[in-house]
Amino acid sequence: MKARVVSTGSYVPEKILTNFDLEKMVDTSDEWITERTGIKERRIASPEQATSDLAYEASLKALKKAGLKPEDIDLIVLATVTPDMLVPSAACMLQMKLGAKNAVAFDINGACTGFVYALSVAEKFIKTGASKRALVIGAETLSRFTDFTDRSICVLLADGAGAVILEGTRKNEGIQVIDIFSDGTMWDFIHMPAGGSKMPVDEKVLQERLNFIKMRGNETFKVAVKTLEEVVDTTLKKAGITSSQLGLLVPHQANIRIIQAMAKRLELPMEKVMVNIDRYGNTSAASIPIALDEAAEMGKIKRGDYVMLAAFGAGLTWGAALIKW
Ligand code: ACO
């Protein structure tokens, strides 16, 4: 039994924050952001939108495309580092909003690798027969945890959601190989110091702005490039194919330079790499499913194509999935 992708959906909030808007907020420039990251603009959730609201919009689109009702879903796995609240899970909030009364719902925190983590978990449920039809989502409202006085991070992070529906199949299609990894020794490369059990929010936290995400960008960059190249290589080898057989690479959208380095190493022309970082920035767990949905909508993926997903993020975490569409 394999797990195949039945449909995809995505949603980004209406509000656009451009590099020029950021020039008025911190000491930065459109030129620096574009050259160093590839980002031109990003989306920001409205004050009344929480992560489950973005996830809801993306899920509705995926359900509609598949011609399914929320009751047809028996598993909801939502990857996020920005749930609506610490308790309950954003997945349960989404379940309620959808009315997916036949599903079991839970969150996964794999940071920017979250969607590949969630896909891996859902795939196991499908393969074992524990789930017939799963809704897998990556959704983030990172703007709520972004320090808009810190130029090293506020130009990168953004909001959005993407979803896929998985179903079992006896045919040789769907997820061929999926591998996820973590290394907690580098936990402090990307982290949010306060707001959890280690450091509850108090006056000092607010003064020192410790309730926002911090990143050691340059060190993260170096590990990301090396690790992503390795994980894609291993996944190709496990599947017994070469990079020239890939129809499309859908990488996590963290930095255009990381994406270009991967493409070069894999000898893939950029036409075979999905890039939308210019419009959406880094939406963490949402970036891959948004890019996958856009690629599908743009006709960049044909039936039978090999599609490689590859992600890297806080934890540190990383992973890749090879899907036969
Ligand atoms: N505008 C202008 N200058 C800036 C800005 C900015 N927004 N941000 C930093 N700078 C300055 C720095 O202060 C530094 O100045 P200095 O040389 O005078 O000290 C200079 O630019 C270079 O800074 P670096 O941090 O070395 O720049 P780098 O080229 O590494 O780019 C970036 C920074 C974009 C963050 C990059 O390192 C990166 O993309 N890192 C990896 C991100 C990633 O993959 N994250 C994983 C997923 S994220 C997640 O899980 C939430």
Mean pLDDT of the chain: 97
pLDDT digits (tens, 9 = 90+) for 60-96: 999 999 999 999 999 999 999 999 999 999 999 999 9
For the stretch 223-265, pLDDT in tens is: 999 999 999 999 999 999 999 999 999 999 999 999 999 999 9
> Average pLDDT, stretch 159-167?
98
Ligand 1 centre and the CA of 32: distance in Å?
A: 10
Nearest CA to ligand 1 atom 22: 218
For ligand 1, whether the C-beta of 112 sits within 6 Å is yes
Q: Ligand 1 centre from 180 Cα, in Å?
A: 26
pLDDT score at 150: 96
Residue 314 alpha carbon, nearest atom of ligand 1: 50
Under the banding of pLDDT at 50, 70 and 90, the label for residue 200 is very high
3-state helix, strand, coil in the chain (%, to 5): 40, 25, 30
Output the pLDDT for position 203. Answer: 96
8 lines ligand 1 (CB under 6 A): no
Mutating to test ligand 1, I would choose from 31, 147, 151, 221 the residue with most ligand atoms within 8 A of its C-beta, which is 221
Domain boundaries, the chain: 2-171, 176-324
CATH number for 2-171: choose from 3.30.1490.20, 3.30.1300.10, 3.10.580.10, 3.40.47.10: 3.40.47.10
Residues 6+ apart with CB under 8 A from 250: 274, 288, 291, 292, 295, 307, 308, 309, 310
Nearest to 137 by CA among 157, 108, 159: 108
pLDDT for res 93: 98
CA of 299 to the centre of ligand 1 (A): 34
The whole-angstrom separation of Cα 263 and Cα 322 is 16
Of 1.10.3720.10, 2.40.37.10, 3.30.505.50, 3.40.47.10, the CATH number of 176-324 is 3.40.47.10
**Atom of ligand 1 at shortest distance to CA of 142?**
51
Confidence of residue 148 (pLDDT cuts 50, 70, 90): very high
Predicted local distance difference test score (pLDDT) of residue 52:
98
Percent share of the chain, pLDDT over 90? 100
DSSP string, 276-314: -HHHH-B-GGGHHHHHHHHHHHTT---TT-EEEEEEEET
> Are 2-171 and 176-324 in the same CATH fold?
yes
Annotated active-site positions, please? 112, 252, 282
Mean predicted confidence (pLDDT) in 15-21? 98
Could you report the per-residue pLDDT of 296-325, keeping only the tens digit for each? 999 999 999 999 999 999 999 999 999 999
3-state secondary structure of 257: helix
Q: Are 69 and 60 in contact (CB under 8 A)?
A: no
pLDDT score for 308: 98
